[in-house]
Structure 1
Amino acid sequence: MKRTNQQILDLAQSEGLIRSRDITARGLPRVALTRLVREGLLIRLDRGLYALPDRQVSEHGSLAEVASKYPDGIVCLLSALRVHGLTTQSPFNVWLAIPNKDRSPKMDYPPLRIVRFSGKALTEGIEEHVIDGVTVHMTNVARTVVDCFKFRNKIGLDVALESLREAWGNKRVSMDDLWRYAVLFRVANVMRPYMESLS
């Protein structure tokens, strides 16, 4: 039992966040997680998601928690803007894109705002970031700005304009990249006047 507990604690130390299915995949009993939580050696963050109580959490730790639980989700819109440093807003929710036909994920914390992507939206302009030891899929800077225009009715045109100004002003995007995604995601006509005013 002590050896099992130590293996789980070592895994939590190296991975940052562990899922109950990670334990089962290694042939370790799930009941050990409950025991370790009861002893105060692990904390339960959400159903099936655990961590060491004294783990170091970065500013974007909630994104790592979401990605641990939903590795196929794509962090987007306001949450991606925050990671890219393109907004003054600090979103209360984690904005997560999932495939059109997938069931909406449920988490106690952090709260999720779900948007649905299909086709190229699931693959174009997606990059991987490692946050607190967890791989997080996220829209890149240019794609994030374009998505803000595409979903302007959800987040507000003012946020989309701020993201465009910040990304362009800080030389984080090129007009070519913005235009490519704008055409691909059918918001070129919406973005054209704002892009022209910058160049």
Structure 2
Amino acid sequence: MQKILTLFNNNHGYAKMQELKDAGIHTRDVASALQSGVIEKFAPGKYKLINYPWDEFSSFTDIAFVRTDAVVCLQSAAEYHGLTTYNPSVVAVAVPKGSRGISLSHPPVSVHFFSPDQYKTEILTVKAAGGEFSVYSMEKTVVDLFRFRNKAGMDLVLEVLKSYLSRKDRNINLLLHYARKFRVYSILNASVKAMVV
């Protein structure tokens, strides 16, 4: 059991079945660790240590461990940046259009397929207890919420914009640049003007 614990602790609390096998850990030992509640399986061939010192970003790192190209977006990114009081029950992530979805038993995931230009713009890398995950910048998050305003709901979109405008680290020029680029300039600019007046 100590060998299993060491491997997980050295890998930010995660391990793939192949890594366990490569370390000489037999599948019956993995099954025993699962049965005793030491580890849990959260995706096909992916495991995590139950008693690892996880932080509030463990849902994000779970997804990043399964899909390194997944980027936290929309409501989940707004929550990460402190732009909303809304606590989404599903983690929203973006992946490149044309790629496959994400298979996880938990956390619940909403996968959005972004075009190459929309996908690769303004990605930040965050270090957490469970390793690294990617999230869109505040400006990209606000613009994406305006793009998805019919699904997200205008109440949430306007709450996020209001919170963003109250931040000292906001960059209105960058926000408007991406609003133009991703074709939501008219509605976003009108909303900004209505809040600033």
TM-score where L is the length of structure 2: 0.89
Who is 2:118 aligned against?
121
Task: For residue 133 of structure 2, give the secondary structure of its aligned residue in structure 1.
Answer: strand
Q: Deviations over 1:132-189 (max 9, x none)?
A: 2321111011110111101101101111111111011022311111011111211112
State the AA in 2 paired with 1:117. Answer: F
Question: Equivalents in 1 of 2:17, 2:169: separation in Å?
Answer: 39
1:196 is the counterpart of 2:193? yes
Aligned residue type for 1:60:
F
Decide whether the 8 Å contact of 1:19 with 1:69 is kept in 2.
no
Q: Does 1:135 align with 2:132?
A: yes
1:40-119 → structure 2 map (5 Å cutoff): 40-119=37-116
Distance 1:76 1:30 in 2: 38
Distance 1:44 1:153 in 2: 35
Structure 1: 5+ residue stretches without partners? none
TM-score between the two structures when normalised by the length of structure 1? 0.88
Counterpart for residue 146 of structure 1: 143
Of 36-45 and 110-119, more deviation after overlay is shown by 36-45
State the partner residue of 2:34: 37
Q: Post-superposition shift, 1:64?
A: 1.3
Rounded to whole Å, the distance in 1 between the matches of 2:166 and 2:61 is 29
Report the Cα distance in structure 1 between the residues aligned to 2:78 and 2:59, rounded to whole angstroms. 15
Q: What is the deviation of 1:196?
A: 2.2
RMSD: 1.9
Q: Following TM superposition, by how much is the alpha carbon of 1:97 offset from its aligned partner in structure 2, in angstroms? A: 0.8
**Residue identity (%):** 28
Structure 2: which amino acid aligns with 1:46? Answer: A
Q: For the Cα contact (< 8 Å) 1:125–1:140, is it kept in 2? A: yes
Q: Structure 1 residue 20: deviation in Å? A: 2.1
**CA–CA distance in 2 between the matches of 1:92 and 1:141?**
20
Task: Output the CA distance in 1 between the equivalents of 2:147 and 2:169.
Answer: 19
